[in-house]
Structures are given as structure tokens and as C-alpha cells.
Structure 1
């Protein structure tokens, strides 16, 4: 079973990251494809634009956002494909561009996927 981690895409890539998947809908500013060293770009797993805009990264609304995001993931057909990839690798790192390393959609996604492994 694969181990899941999260990391800001702006941090240097490291071999211990394993399989690296960007989980943002938009490409991060100032990051070249070479620097990102991605194995996949899972746009499908990012929050919908409407949800992201409504939340606006407000820490006070994080629990509300997380509940709504998990509901979106429950209906996302790509989740099963992502889980297959995770199971096929020893380590998968979900990359995100948000500034806050703890209050972000990648943390919710990591926990959501880990609960289904």
C-alpha cells in the first residue's frame, strides 16, 4: 500500500517524494515543468472553482470547506484511478501551491485518500 504525503510545489523535488502529483487545478506561478518534476497532474482531484472561490482560503471556514470538498470527492470518478496509482507506488506526494502548509485542500485530499486505501 502506498504512503501519502503532501508538499508545497515550490519546495525542491526530492527522491524521497516518490511519485509526485500536482493536485491544483491551475499551474503554479513561477514553477517550470522541469523544476516541478511531476509524474502526474491530477486537476480532477482539485476543488471545483466555485468551492475554491467560496472558501477563499479563510482558515475560519476550513471545516466547512473540508466537508464540501469531501462531498465533491465522493462524486469524483477519478478518485478510484488515483487510488490505483497510489497503491502501485511505495510513496506518493501530493503537491499544492497554497501558502499555508496545514490549512489547504491537499491536506483534506491526503486524509480522504488515505482513509480509502
Structure 2
């Protein structure tokens, strides 16, 4: 019998400030997205187990496309496995809005098709029941 927590999805959205650009072309480092994954995993643990939990590991992190300052990112975690104290989560981060400096200093657009920028699998642990 499958656990009712399997398949639960939590999503966060965040604007990427220009102060986070570290590289030419307003590129943002991959750690920015991993931080978002940590935040969405924390909410997932609160929702599934009533505790913030602890992030134990990442597996198979894939940086698929660049993240730039001015992007609006959407990070999603989905529970794929529930163990006694561990949960496996599938993560995906997408750019849903992007700046358009070619059209003006503050121009931006909502993307018709989000761009998948990072995917990963991670394991979180939560306290056991007493």
C-alpha cells in the first residue's frame, strides 16, 4: 500500500536579484538554486511530518540551463518515496519569467514555456515517532 504523502508537491517562487549575479552575462551560481531546493524541502517536511527535518543528501544534480539575475524561478519538490524516517524528493527548478535588457533596462517577460534549469533528487530525514 502506498503512503498518502507520496506525490505531494510543494512549490516556491522567487525573484533572483541582480546582487546575486557572480559571473559575466548576469549569471547566478548553481548554489542559489540548491538553496531554493533546501527551502522547499523544509516546507515539505513541515507539511508531511510536522518538523523542519534535515537535508541528508543530494543525488544526481543536473544543471541544465543558466540562471540569470532578473529571472523569476519556480522550485518544486515532489515526494517520491516515504521511509520510516527518510523521504526521497524529486526537485525541479524552472525559469518562469526572464529579464529582457534588449528591450529596456527594466524590461522582462513571462515565458510561454518555462525553462528547466536544475533537476535533482534528495533525501531528507525527520525525527521518528516516539
What is the TM-score with the length of structure 2 in the denominator? 0.27
The structure where helix makes up a greater share of residues is 1
The structure where strand makes up a greater share of residues is 2
Greater RCO (Cα-Cα under 8 Å, separation 6 or more): 1
Please tell me whether Structure 1 or Structure 2 has the larger radius of gyration of its CA atoms. 2
What is the TM-score with the length of structure 1 in the denominator? 0.29
